[in-house]
Structure 1
Amino acid sequence: MPNSSSYRLRDFGSYTAGGRIAEVTTGTPRRVNFTRTASLEVDPRGHFAIEHAYVQYFLPEARNAEPPVVLLHGGGMSGSCWDKTPDGRPGWLQMLLALGYEVHVVDNVERGRAGFAPGHWQGEPLLRSMEEAWTLFRIGPREGFTSRTPFEGQQFPAGQFDTFARWFVPRWLTTSGVQADALLAVLERTGPAIVICHSQGGEIAFDAHRRDPARFAAIIALEPSGYPDDAAELSATPTRIIAGDYLDADPAWIGRRAAWSALASGENVTFTEAPDIGTGNSHMLMCDRNAREILDLALTF
C-alpha cells in the first residue's frame, strides 16, 4: 500500500525567473589556474546574467484542482529546506505532491542554484554559524549547543542538527528588492499561486504581494520575519501565519509574535500557534516531527 508521501510525476524540470544582464566595464584581466593543467586569462569586464531565481517545478500525475504552490525559503537557506527533513523524513515538497499539488521550489536571488555575483550588491555575504542557528531557530538554550541538548519537548530532530547546518548558504542583506522582483517573475509564470514562505521569505512574499496582490491565491507564512504594517493589505488574500513554541526564549520573538497576532485582527488573516499546532515546535516548522500535521492545518482556509 502506498504511504502518505507516494506520488507519480507527470513532469518535472527547472527554469529561471526574472533577473537582468549587468555590464561590467572596469577591471583588469588576469591569468587564473583553473586546474593543475589549465591556465586561462579571466577578464572581469563583460556582461553577466544576475538577479534571477532558480526554480524546480513538479507536476504530479494525479494533479488536484487547487492553485499551484510556490515554496519560498528563508534567510541563509535555499529551496533544499523543503525536500526532506534533516533526519530523512519526507519534506513538505513530497507531501504536497502526494496531495496532488503542482509545486514550484524557489532558490531566490543569490541563494543555492540561483548562484551569486560578488561585486554587484552592497555589503558582504554572511554565512550563519551553527551557534547562531541553534539559538535563533529555538532548537535549545545557548548552553545546550555543545552537547546538542535541545529544549525539553523539542520537535526538531536535534540529533541531526549538524546535517541541518549543511543546508546553510551565504546570503546578502541588501537584495530584498530584487528577490521580490524574482518572486513576481515566478508568479507571472505559474499564475495565481499559494505562496508558502518561511522567515525572511515572508518579507519577500509580503513585499511582492503589496506590489501585485492578484498574483497570490493565498499566503501561508511560517514565522515571517517581515510583514505588513497594515492588515488591510491582506484583506483580499487568504493568509495564514503559523508560529512555533518557545517564543519567550528571546525578546525579538516576543515582538514578532505580537505583530503576527495584530495582523490576525484583519479580514482574511489567521494566526495559529502552539498549542493549536502542537507543542515543542522550532522556527523550522517544516522540519519538525509534526510537520505533516502543520501542513494539513496550513492548507485549511
Structure 2
Amino acid sequence: MRCIPRTACGSRKGRAKSRLIFAAAAINLIATASAQAADPISLRDMGSFHVGGRLVEISGKPVKEVTFTPGGVPAKVDPNGVYQVEQMYVQYFLPANEHGAYPLLMWHGGGLTGVTWETTPDGREGWLTYFLRKGWSVYNSDAVERGRAGWAQYPDIFKSDPVFLTTANPFERFRIGDGPNSYASDPAKRKVMPGSQFPVEAYENFVKQGVPRWTTNDDATIAAYIAEIDRVGPSIVMVHSQSGSFGFKVAQARPDKVKALIAVEPAAIGDPAKVEALKNVPILIVYGDYIDRDSRWPKMRAAGVAFADSIKAAGGSVDVIDLPQVGIKGNSHMVMMDKNNAEVAGLIQGWLERKGLTK
C-alpha cells in the first residue's frame, strides 16, 4: 500500500488500520463472488406447521418424581393421560416469482428427515433451494416419528423398538461403498464405488443426519401425508427411498390432488390392486448407478418397474429413467446429495416442464 503524505501509514496504528481495510475488502470480494455464484432467494412467505396425528390416552402407569434440571426442585410427573401423537412437521418456502403450477412436496426416506433435501454433506446447494430458485413453492417435511415431528412412547403407542444405524451401514447399503465390508474407520481404507459421485470426503456429515426409525408406523405416516395434501391442496409429490410407497399410496388415496409424482429410488411400491387410481397422475421414477452390484436393489428396482408397467397397462403415464442409460453416471442411493445433484435436478425440472406443470 502506497502512503499518502501526512497520513499515519508509517505508524503502528496506521498499519493496523490498513490491515483492517484490506480484510474488509477481501470479505467484500468473497461476498460478491458468492452472490454471483448463487443469486439471493426472494420469498413472499415462509413458515411451518404440524399436521395429522391423533389423541391417545395412556393409563395404569406409576407416578414418577423427576428433577428436570440438575440442582432443581423435583416435580411429580403423572404419565397417565391424553397425548398428541403421530403428527408431522412441515416447513414451507413460497417464492416471490412462482413458476410451478402446483406446490412441490418433498418427502424423505427411512432413518432421515427433511434435511435430506436442504443441503449436501459437503455444503453444496440441495434440491430444496434448487427447485425454489426455479420458482417452485416447496414444502419440506419431517415425517411421523422423525426430527421435529417428535416421538411417542413405545410399546404403548409406537409398537416396536426404534431401529438405529451404525456409521458403516449407510456407506455399505446406500451404494456409496462397494458392498459389504467396504467401510473402514480410516477414510483412506474405505472402498468406494468406482466413479462414485457421492462426496465421500464428507461422509461423517451425512451420518450425523441419521435419526431412529420405526418399522410399524406406516399407517400413521400415510395418514399424516394425506392430511398434508388435504391442507396444502393440489400438489406435486417428490419421494425418496422408504417414502416411495407412501407417495404411491397417497396418490392412490388422493388422485385428484396429486398432480404428479416423482419417485427417486423408491424402495417400495403402492397397492397393486389400486393401480387404476394412478392412471391420471404423471409419474417419474429415477434410479441411480451400481444397481447390479448390490444384493437388494435389483429386486427393488424390478418391483418398481413392474409396478410402473401395471400403471401403464391401466392407461397411466410413467417414465422410468436409469441415470447411467442417459449418460449420468456414478450416483449413489442419495442422488440428491451426489456431486452431480444439480444435473439430476435439471433432468427432473425438464420433465416437469414437458408435462406442462410449470407456468
TM-score, length basis structure 2: 0.80
The answer as to 2:312 corresponding to 1:274 is no
State the partner residue of 1:220. Answer: 262
Q: Helix, strand or coil: the match of 2:53?
A: strand
Compare 165-174 and 148-157 and name the one that shifted more: 148-157
Distance in 1 between the 2:84 and 2:267 partners?
29
Identity of aligned residues (%): 37
Distance in 2 between the 1:155 and 1:65 partners?
29
Distance in 2 between the 1:233 and 1:4 partners?
41
State the partner residue of 2:5. Answer: none
State the partner residue of 2:28. Answer: none
Distance in 2 between the 1:277 and 1:298 partners?
15
Among 122, 129, 150, the alignment partner of 1:115 is: 150
Q: Helix, strand or coil: the match of 2:305?
A: helix
Compare 31-40 and 159-168 and name the one that shifted more: 31-40
Among 124, 128, 131, the alignment partner of 2:161 is: 124
State the partner residue of 1:145. Answer: 183
Distance in 2 between the 1:258 and 1:65 partners?
32
Write out aligned runs for 1:253-292 (5 A). 253-265=297-309, 266=312, 267-275=316-324, 276=326, 278-292=328-342
Among 348, 351, 354, the alignment partner of 1:298 is: 348
Distance in 2 between the 1:35 and 1:149 partners?
46
Distance in 1 between the 2:259 and 2:102 partners?
7
Seen in structure 2, the aligned counterparts of structure 1 residues 6 and 291 have a Cα distance that, compared at 3 Å, is: farther
Compare 80-89 and 31-40 and name the one that shifted more: 31-40
Distance in 2 between the 1:64 and 1:105 partners?
18
- 1:73–1:198 CA contact under 8 A, matched in 2: yes
Among 98, 102, 126, the alignment partner of 2:133 is: 98
TM-score, length basis structure 1: 0.95
State the partner residue of 1:244. Answer: 288
Task: Tell me the matched-pair count.
Answer: 301
CA drift at 1:258: 1.5
State the partner residue of 1:60. Answer: 95
- 1:31–1:42 CA contact under 8 A, matched in 2: yes
Unaligned 5+ segments in structure 2 are 1-34
Q: Helix, strand or coil: the match of 2:211?
A: coil
The answer as to 2:201 corresponding to 1:159 is yes
Distance in 2 between the 1:4 and 1:62 partners?
16
Q: Helix, strand or coil: the match of 2:331?
A: coil
Distance in 1 between the 2:339 and 2:227 partners?
33
Unaligned 5+ segments in structure 1 are none
State the partner residue of 2:19. Answer: none
Compare 176-185 and 143-152 and name the one that shifted more: 143-152
Distance in 1 between the 2:100 and 2:348 partners?
17
Among 44, 47, 57, the alignment partner of 1:13 is: 47
Letter in 2 for 1:33: T
The answer as to 2:119 corresponding to 1:81 is no
Compare 206-215 and 108-117 and name the one that shifted more: 206-215
- 2:85–2:151 CA contact under 8 A, matched in 1: yes
CA drift at 1:19: 0.6
Letter in 2 for 1:85: T
Structure with more relative contact order (C-alpha pairs < 8 Å, separation 6 or more)? 1
CA drift at 1:6: 3.8
Letter in 2 for 1:143: N
Distance in 2 between the 1:5 and 1:248 partners?
40
- 1:148–1:158 CA contact under 8 A, matched in 2: no
- 1:5–1:95 CA contact under 8 A, matched in 2: no
Deviations 1:20-70 (A, max 9, x none): 111112201111121112222111111111111000011111122420000
More helix by share: 2
